[in-house]
Amino acid sequence: MTASSYDFDVLFIGAGPGGYVGAIRAAQLGLKVACVESRATLGGTCLNVGCIPSKAMLHASEFYDAAANGAMAKMGIEVSPKLNLPAMHAQRVDAVSGLTKGIEFLFKKNKVTWLKGHASFVDAHTVSVDGQNHTAKEVVIATGSSVTQLPGVEIDNAKGVVVDSTGALELPAVPKTMVVIGGGVIGLEMGSVWRRLGAKVTVVEYLDQLLPGMDGDIRKEAARIFAKQGMEFKLSTKVTGCTVKGKKATLTLEPAAGGEAEEMTADCVLVAIGRKPNTEGLNLDAIGLATNARGQIEVDHEFRTSVPGVRAIGDVVPGPMLAHKAEDEGIAVAEWIAGQVGIVNHDLIPGVVYTWPEIAGVGLTEEAARQKGEVKVGKFPMAANSRAKTNHEPDGFVKIIADAATDKVLGVWCIASVAGTMIQQATQAMEFGGTSEDIAYTCHAHPTHSEAIKEAAMAVRGKPIHM
């Protein structure tokens, strides 16, 4: 088949942040593009049941918490809030609907063809969408991920007693008690939402600490802050079973290392123990494409799989399962397909947990950096930052890890109300190969939380001003 005899130059499977961004970029570069999506709306996990609806609930519940739990009173505003949960859900639904329709508009504007239905491979250049075949010179798998199930704990979002993150976004009433299985990003974000709205939240985590993969100091400080907010933790604990009777779930827990079992009853159980790549139903056997031990599709730096003409991006390939990582890979794969060079620096993908305060990091943890060589570390507490102090936000710190010999910044970690915004300047400095001195001598506007990054950089060299 010649290039021109294919139906499309490129066909993306999945319209999440990887697929929809890649499709738009490919169309901008002059290619004839299709994107297959089986969901009724575009935007994937992120826009429909992930980043966006969770942030809508986090943002709204933050206001409720500030009103209900004294933060507003501290600033001289005395209110007794009344929760209108249906209205809170309505603004979440509204945010999702506005943004997913926005992608539909962008598809039309860029002449991307949305093939509605479920895609599976017939051969490397032919994809069947609900029985109808479409051919493309290049096919990009961007099918994302879905919830990892915990054996013995059956999720039933409709019933609302044992739920996954999607069910936890939509609870029709505030549970009195909630057990979150998994002290990772989803557990802490969604646990925070319902804790703020009145639930007593207990997090059961298999490991001895929360937030695996993050810097050690950050993990300890995060646990201290969440405990102060009223969350309870059962660390080094595993769930071995769950029974549901009516509107209550009873969990059986055991120490992770083995030992005596205990029972725990809750109105709601959220299962948040990770996500797994979506490859089932793609008929990968038809093209001879295997997955690795973690169920992911391996790719090279041009996102090529082992099958010529088939590439893959986003949650379905190795790396952090994050929307911005998927988006950047979408742009890069489109650029490679169009004959350009597409670059994603996988060493510098920032991660943010959108709790209160926010938790963010980029680059190496102190532990990982020390394994590679000598480092210098600078820390600055938010309690000494004038803006955070004025705003009654004393919790958290900024930590900068730099190479001891060259001063090159290797990692930046922060806990601060606006850590998710602050981390971006660190990412950019690191992308430009910056040193702690570069950050320390960059003028930072006053009074801003970001000045804590400058002070932490000064601390790397032993001379912060406000400490």
* Cβ atoms within 10 Å of 325's Cβ, excluding its own: 22
22 binds ligand FAD (CB under 6 A): no
Q: Which residue has the tokens 């999506």?
A: 37
Shortest distance, position 350 Cβ to ligand NAI, whole Å: 9
Shortest distance, position 380 Cβ to ligand FAD, whole Å: 26
Shortest distance, position 368 Cβ to ligand NAI, whole Å: 17
The amino acid sitting at 466 is H
266 binds ligand FAD (CB under 6 A): no
47 binds ligand NAI (CB under 6 A): no
Q: Say how far apart CA 371 and CA 357 lie, in whole Å.
A: 29
Q: Say how far apart CA 137 and CA 207 lie, in whole Å.
A: 46
Please, which residues have CB within 8 angstroms of residue 173's CB and are 6 or more apart in sequence?
Answer: 85
Please name the residue ranges forming H helices in 282-365: 323-337
119 binds ligand FAD (CB under 6 A): yes
Nearer to ligand FAD, 416 or 456 (CB): 416
Please, which residues have CB within 8 angstroms of residue 118's CB and are 6 or more apart in sequence?
Answer: 36, 38, 129, 130, 281
β-pairing, 119-123 vs 113-116, is unpaired
DSSP string covering 243-296:
EEETTEEEEEEEETT----EEEEESEEEE-S-EEE--TTS-GGGGTPPP-TTSP
Q: Say how far apart CA 316 and CA 297 lie, in whole Å.
A: 6
β-pairing, 237-245 vs 351-353, is unpaired
Burial of residue 385 (CB within 10 Å: 0-12, 13-18, 19+) is buried
Sites for ligand NAI among residues 147-166 (CB under 6 A): 150
Shortest distance, position 275 Cβ to ligand NAI, whole Å: 4
Q: Which of 24, 39, 43, 17 is nearest to 111 (CA)?
A: 24
Of the listed pieces 41-49, 155-163, 431-439, 448-456, which binds ligand FAD according to CB under 6 A?
41-49
273 binds ligand NAI (CB under 6 A): yes
Q: Contact with ligand FAD (CB under 6 A): which of 61, 100, 165, 435? A: 165
239 binds ligand NAI (CB under 6 A): yes
* Cβ atoms within 10 Å of 187's Cβ, excluding its own: 26
- Catalytic annotation present for 446: yes
Q: Contact with ligand FAD (CB under 6 A): which of 61, 126, 237, 278? A: 278
Q: Contact with ligand FAD (CB under 6 A): which of 6, 134, 138, 144? A: 144
Q: Say how far apart CA 301 and CA 375 lie, in whole Å.
A: 29
183 binds ligand NAI (CB under 6 A): yes
143 binds ligand FAD (CB under 6 A): yes
Sites for ligand NAI among residues 184-213 (CB under 6 A): 184-187, 189, 204-207, 212
Report the chain's terminal Cα–Cα distance, integer Å.
Answer: 69
> Which value, in Å, is the radius of gyration of the alpha carbons in the chain?
24
Shortest distance, position 181 Cβ to ligand NAI, whole Å: 5
Shortest distance, position 38 Cβ to ligand FAD, whole Å: 4
Q: Contact with ligand NAI (CB under 6 A): which of 117, 160, 198, 274? A: 274
Please, which residues have CB within 8 angstroms of residue 386's CB and are 6 or more apart in sequence?
Answer: 446, 447, 451, 466
SS (H, E, C) 206-253: CCCCCCCCCCHHHHHHHHHHHHHCCCEEECCEEEEEEEEECCEEEEEE
| Chosen from ligand FAD, ligand NAI, none, partner binding at 18 (C-beta under 5 to 8 Å by type) | ligand FAD
Nearer to ligand FAD, 277 or 434 (CB): 277
Shortest distance, position 41 Cβ to ligand NAI, whole Å: 19
Nearer to ligand NAI, 71 or 235 (CB): 235
Shortest distance, position 282 Cβ to ligand FAD, whole Å: 5
Given the residues 346, 392, 446, 466, the one annotated as active site: 446
Query: Coil, strand, or helix at residue 56?
Result: helix
* Site size toward ligand NAI, by CB under 6 A: 26
Q: Say how far apart CA 142 and CA 17 lie, in whole Å.
A: 9
275 binds ligand NAI (CB under 6 A): yes
Q: Say how far apart CA 69 and CA 354 lie, in whole Å.
A: 19
Q: Contact with ligand NAI (CB under 6 A): which of 320, 373, 394, 433? A: 320
Nearer to ligand NAI, 63 or 206 (CB): 206
Q: Contact with ligand FAD (CB under 6 A): which of 50, 175, 187, 396? A: 50
Q: Which residues bind ligand NAI (CB under 6 A)?
A: 150, 181-187, 189, 204-207, 212, 238-239, 272-275, 320-322, 352-354
* Residues involved in catalysis: 446
Q: Which residues bind ligand FAD (CB under 6 A)?
A: 13-19, 36-39, 44-46, 50-51, 54, 118-119, 142-145, 165, 186, 278, 281-282, 314-315, 321-324, 326, 354
